[in-house]
C-alpha cells in the first residue's frame, strides 16, 4: 500500500496547543500559507485534511476560515466549500494578485484600480 503525502505538508501542528489559542494558531498558519502561495489562488481548502494535519477539531479550522474570509483571503461558498481568494490584497509583501486587472467580482466591479506599474490609478 502506497502512502500519499499530505496536501498540507507545509502546515505543522502546534507543539502544545493551549485553550483559546488553537484558533489563533490555525488562523496564522493558514494566513501564512496563503500569503506565501503554499495555498494557491482558487485552491479548494479541505477542512478535514487540515484538521488531521494539525491535530485539531473542526471548530478552530472553521473559525479560522471565517476570520480569513473577513480579511478577504478566502471565499466561503455555502454548500460548495471554501477556496483561496483569487484577488488577495498582498502576497509576500508585494502587490495583490488582481491589481491592475479588470474584475467583475462583487459590488466594486468596474471601480478604479491601480495600474500594474503602480503609477497612477486607471479606470477599469
**9 and 69 inside one domain:** yes
Q: Answer whether 0.75 is exceeded by the pTM.
A: no
Q: Do 66 and 110 share a domain, yes or no?
A: no
108 and 57 in one domain? no
The Cα–Cα gap between 111 and 59 comes to 36
In angstroms, rounded to a whole number, what is the distance separating the alpha carbons of residues 39 and 20? 25
Alpha helices in the chain (DSSP H): 22-35, 47-54, 58-70
Is 54 within 8 Å of 11 (Cβ atoms)?
yes
100 and 82 in a common domain:
no
Render each residue's pLDDT in the chain as its tens digit; 124 residues: 444 556 776 777 666 666 668 999 999 999 999 999 999 999 999 999 999 998 889 999 999 999 999 999 999 998 899 999 987 555 444 444 444 333 344 444 444 444 444 445 555 4
Q: How far is CA 115 from the centre of its chain?
A: 24
Q: Is residue 119 part of a domain?
A: yes
Q: Confirm whether 102 is domain-assigned.
A: yes
Assess whether 58 and 106 both reside in one domain.
no
Residue ranges in 36-121 assigned as alpha helix (H): 47-54, 58-70
The gap from C-alpha 81 to its chain's centroid, in whole angstroms, comes to: 13
Q: Which residue range(s) make up the domain with 105?
A: 96-124
Q: Are residues 114 and 59 in the same domain?
A: no
Amino acid at each position: 500500500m502506497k502512502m500519499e503525502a499530505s496536501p498540507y505538508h507545509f502546515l505543522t501542528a502546534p507543539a502544545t496547543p493551549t485553550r483559546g489559542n488553537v484558533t489563533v494558531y490555525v488562523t496564522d498558519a493558514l494566513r501564512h500559507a496563503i500569503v506565501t502561495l503554499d495555498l494557491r489562488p482558487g485552491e479548494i481548502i479541505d477542512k478535514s485534511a487540515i484538521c488531521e494535519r494539525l491535530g485539531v477539531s473542526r471548530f478552530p479550522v472553521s473559525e479560522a476560515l471565517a476570520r480569513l474570509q473577513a480579511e478577504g483571503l478566502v471565499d466561503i461558498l455555502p454548500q460548495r466549500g471554501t477556496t483561496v481568494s483569487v484577488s488577495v490584497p498582498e502576497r509576500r509583501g508585494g502587490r495583490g494578485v488582481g491589481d491592475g486587472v479588470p474584475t467583475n467580482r462583487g459590488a466594486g466591479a468596474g471601480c478604479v484600480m491601480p495600474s500594474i506599474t503602480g503609477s497612477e490609478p486607471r479606470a477599469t
